[in-house]
């Protein structure tokens, strides 16, 4: 769930009375903005914040909220990186092996944090070159390619980033449906053994309430749900960790390394959890003192070290506690006869349901303007967006019903989209930003970035192939 995966942070664009995207700062303008800006996507599922509004004519960024302190920014960074993906980390370590998975998490954490710094540095350099005060992920990609290759390449770069953001968000929504249905089925089957319903039956019941919930269009209402989900999520993690500490097995009882296929699945799940790169620039852009964000002891390093420690603790002790019996989500290993553990399962199911609409909002924000401009005015525009929302929910439901395997879906989403956004694009942007005179002695930055790109592409190919192969194998069996 990234997840971690948590939570879209969106620029301050709203909808007018006819369902059209409109800017807050240019409400009097009759012409729509040429594109929809996405100020950032969190990889988990916690909160939406209205960061800034873009003037449709001048393109200047204006503050839509009060600036955040360092502590507030740190809390936002933690919320943006700790999501449902952390619940799948114990199974990921099982797939790789105890020590290979544990050390691999440290390695991936270092790489992901470094790539976040690459994105921040590219943003700073491009702001100086273009005279803009702030840039989001899509804008960094667009400006990087515009400087080198012109407007057409800039538009293509922005489009590619938005496509992968949509893939990521739809993937999160599919995982959420699977996660909620799996946990509800586990609770019901434990207390009512005679109720042996198929997973798809629970998904169908969930669909009945997901459709009206997905029609909520006011961000302020979704943000209220998100705030409650944040507190409940961290409470649930504390309970899970204390449960793990009660039942630890000897370290020598678990394998150091598992299999090559397991390692590929591990990569997809781990990068799904670590993919919080979309929150980096929005959080920095909202700081009172942005110079305190990227330093060696700044908000970024401090927050991501805490995130990495949480992942390492949950993954290592979760696998050490439940061993080969670990499930696709560690919540499924909890004894629901215990009221406390039952409450944790219910809490996470409710949290994920509440934040479904937040993740769902992002592809709607990106895709609806394309159809809005091509539909005649009137009722068709007014109700067209609602129809599209329902179609998207049905699409997510069908995908979850066709591939009812939470662990494989998480791995696939992580390998396909998270690796691209978190590992492949940032070094590409650094190369294009620094080329040719600022790549260091013997162009060591170029060598380093090429290795990062190669690692990301290898993980993308291997993780995607093995995830798809395992999905096909489950159909055959």
Q: How far is CA 306 from CA 43, 82, 303, in A?
A: 16, 10, 5
Q: What is the pTM of this model?
A: 0.80
Whole-number Å distance between alpha carbons of 367 and 391: 13
What DSSP designation does 247 have? S
Whole-number Å distance between alpha carbons of 316 and 381: 51
Type and span of the H or E element at 14? strand 13-15
Whole-number Å distance between alpha carbons of 88 and 311: 10
**Residue 430: per-residue pLDDT:** 94
| SS3 assignment, position 49 | coil
Whole-number Å distance between alpha carbons of 142 and 170: 23
Give CATH for domain 6-476. 1.20.1740.10
Beta bridge partners of 23: 13
Judge contact between 170 and 396, C-beta under 8 A: yes
**Residue 27: per-residue pLDDT:** 37
Closest to 130 measured CA to CA, from 62, 53, 60: 60
Size (the chain), residues: 477
Judge contact between 24 and 64, C-beta under 8 A: yes
Helices and strands of the chain, counted as H and E runs:
16, 6
User: What are the residue ranges in the chain where pLDDT is below 70?
Assistant: 1-66, 218-227, 275, 378
Whole-number Å distance between alpha carbons of 290 and 298: 10
Tokens of 120: 């921040």
**Residue 311: per-residue pLDDT:** 94
Question: Which residues have C-beta within 8 Å of that of residue 458, sequence separation ≥ 6?
Answer: none
Whole-number Å distance between alpha carbons of 119 and 447: 17
Give the strand pairing for 40-43 and 6-9: antiparallel
CB atoms within 10 A of CB 277: 27
């Amino acid at each position: 769930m990234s997840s971690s995966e948590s939570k879209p942070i969106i620029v301050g664009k709203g909808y007018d009375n006819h369902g059209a995207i409109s800017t807050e700062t240019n409400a009097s303008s009759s012409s729509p903005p040429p594109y929809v800006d996405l100020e950032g996507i969190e990889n988990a599922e916690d909160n939406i914040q209205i960061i800034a509004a873009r003037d449709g004519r001048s393109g200047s960024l204006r503050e839509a909220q009060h600036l955040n302190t360092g502590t507030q920014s740190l809390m936002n960074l933690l919320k943006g990186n700790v999501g449902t993906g952390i619940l799948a980390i114990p199974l990921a370590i099982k797939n790789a092996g105890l020590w290979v998975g544990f050390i691999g998490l440290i390695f991936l954490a270092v790489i992901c944090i470094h790539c976040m710094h690459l994105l921040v540095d590219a943003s700073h350099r491009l702001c100086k070159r273009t005279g803009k005060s702030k840039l989001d992920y899509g804008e960094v990609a667009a400006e990087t390619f515009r400087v080198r290759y012109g407007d057409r390449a800039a538009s293509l770069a922005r489009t590619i980033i938005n496509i992968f953001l949509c893939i990521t968000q739809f993937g999160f929504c599919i995982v959420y449906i699977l996660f909620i249905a799996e946990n509800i089925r586990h609770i019901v089957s434990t207390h009512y053994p005679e109720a042996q319903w198929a997973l798809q039956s629970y998904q169908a019941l969930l669909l009945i309430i997901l459709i009206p919930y997905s029609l909520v269009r006011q961000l302020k209402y979704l943000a209220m749900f998100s705030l409650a989900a944040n507190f409940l999520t961290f409470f649930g993690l504390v309970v899970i960790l204390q449960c793990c500490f009660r039942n630890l097995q000897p370290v020598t009882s678990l394998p150091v390394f598992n299999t090559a296929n397991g390692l590929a699945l591990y990569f997809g799940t781990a990068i799904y959890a670590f993919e919080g790169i979309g929150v980096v620039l929005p959080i920095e852009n909202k700081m009172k003192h942005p110079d305190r964000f990227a330093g060696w002891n700044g908000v970024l390093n401090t927050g991501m070290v805490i995130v990495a420690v949480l992942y390492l603790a949950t993954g290592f002790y979760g696998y050490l506690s439940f061993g080969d019996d670990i499930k696709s989500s560690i919540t499924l290993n909890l004894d629901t006869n215990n009221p406390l553990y039952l409450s944790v399962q219910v809490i996470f199911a409710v949290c994920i349901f509440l934040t479904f609409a937040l993740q769902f909002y992002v592809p709607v924000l990106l895709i609806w303007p394309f159809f809005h401009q091509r539909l005649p005015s009137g009722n068709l525009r007014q109700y067209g967006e609602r129809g599209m929302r329902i179609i998207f929910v049905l699409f997510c439901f069908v995908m979850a019903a066709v591939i009812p395997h939470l662990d494989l879906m998480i791995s696939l989403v992580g390998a396909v989209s998270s690796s691209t956004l978190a590992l492949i694009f940032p070094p590409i942007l650094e190369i294009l930003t620094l080329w040719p005179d600022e790549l260091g002695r013997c162009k060591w930055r170029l060598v380093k970035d090429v290795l990062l790109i190669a690692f990301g592409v290898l993980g993308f190919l291997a993780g995607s192939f093995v995830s798809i192969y395992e999905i096909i194998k489950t159909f055959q069996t």
